[in-house]
Amino acid sequence: MEIHGIKSIKGEFKIPGDKSISHRSVILSSITGNNVAIENFLFCQDCIKTLDILNKLGVKIEKINGNLIVYGKGIKNLKEPEEILDVGNSGTTIRIMSGLLSATNFMSVLSGDKSINSRPMERIIKPLQEMGAKINGRENNTKAPLVIIGNPKLKGKKFELKVSSAQVKSCILMAALHAIGSTEIMQPQVSRDHTERMLQYFGADITYDGKYTKLNPGKKLSAGKIYIPGDISSAAFFIVATLVLKNSYTLMKDIGMNPIRSYFIEILRQMGGKIVIKNQRIINNEPVVDIEAFSSKLNSIEIGREKIPGIIDEIPILCVAAAKARGKTVIRDAGELRFKESDRIKSIVSQFKKLGVDIKEKEDGMIINGDVDFQADEGAVESFGDHRVAMSLSILALLSKGNVTVLDSDCINTSFPGFIYNLKKIMSQ
């Protein structure tokens, strides 16, 4: 993808449905006993992998006028798959489905692409085994593919996680839904709570406060309709583009404003970003808003342990804001970035340097010396097949003196199929 520098952007952007909520909506709908209509589902590569797997487990899912109807059949009526379940590049799919499949009465195998099969899986394998799950992976139970022989008699347990992770927590909760006895999860920092919110909406007996979650199994799950709000992690790219480009204004409507997902808005405001939140309401237990953004003069910031779990996906685009901010921005305690679709610390630092950003790699983060007058250099940069790195480089390229080529940009379809269309619309203004 070739991108040329531009002076400003103006307009309203349609942001596709939230990826995290889309995954959870179809998985939970499939184990209800009724039909669930899902509006504004995100048809990206990751979510389509989740749909494919549910189909192979015998769940009927229809697409009608762009929306989904999931014919829930309960976990006891899922069927043993006849082939390996391919998650592609989706970490959410492999981790949440592992929890669900551990409570079935059949065997299944989950595998993904090279990136997924190199990512750490011990963090889900170990707690599931402690609940009585029969789950094994290669390299001494640390990597996928995962072989799961379902156990319908899992036991609830109390967990104290060393690292806060919404995916690990969600995996445990999916298993806990069908376990004997309650399950409690304690985390050192607050992590995303989409699973808890949706379980509550579906009628589960669950309590949570960000760091602590308790689920009592046995309640029948039920829902009739779900609306998926716009993905705030996708909106982040155009919010930052607006802030760093002069004389710019954008409006994005119907965006999910989960308080744990919106930390990056708070960070951008602390940096001096002019961001207005309007029309606040609650849909399906999730806060939804409209977001206005304006050109801003940004200042540097230090980001540490407390906020990292809530902004882990937004750090690449926050680095773009830091490049255009006055002073030194420090991001620490973000070692989890090394275990994403790519080693995002190495990916960001190496490719931002190519475009002239003063950025240094640290073991658990990075240091960026920003410049309010920064202009990106021309040249070619590599995405490493990582959708968030590719999109962040694309926004950084809008600050270029000339043209920037982002290699392997097709990976953007993993999470934001409309991104390239929106970007082309911006560049043609």
Q: Do 221 and 28 contact (CB within 8 A), yes or no?
A: yes
Specify the pairing of strand 358-362 against strand 327-331: unpaired
How many Cα neighbours within 13 Å face the side chain of 189? 18
The dihedral built from the CA positions of residue 269, 273, 279 and 285, taken in this order, carries a sign that is: negative
Residue type, 372: V
Tell me the residue ranges of DSSP E strands in 78-190: 85-86, 107-111, 134-137, 143-149, 158-160, 183-186
Catalytic residue among 86, 231, 254, 313: 313
**Rounded Cα–Cα distance for residues 28 and 375 (Å):** 46
Residue type, 77: N
Residue type, 31: I
Q: Do 298 and 242 contact (CB within 8 A), yes or no?
A: no
Q: Alpha carbon of 291 to those of 118, 239, 366, 389: distances in Å? A: 37, 9, 29, 23
**Rounded Cα–Cα distance for residues 139 and 162 (Å):** 22
Tell me the residue ranges of DSSP E strands in 1-44: 2-4, 10-13, 35-39
Q: Rounded to the nearest 5°, which phi and psi values hold at 251?
A: -130, 130
Return the closest-CA partner of residue 229 out of 42, 62, 92, 65.
42
* DSSP-assigned letters across all residues of 69-82: EEE---GGG----S
Sheet holding 205-208, edge to edge: 158-160, 183-186, 212-216, 205-208
**Rounded Cα–Cα distance for residues 344 and 426 (Å):** 26
How many Cα neighbours within 13 Å face the side chain of 306? 4
Known catalytic membership, residue 377? no
Three-state SS string over 89-109 comes to CCHHHHHHHHHHHCCCCCEEE
Catalytically annotated residues: 313
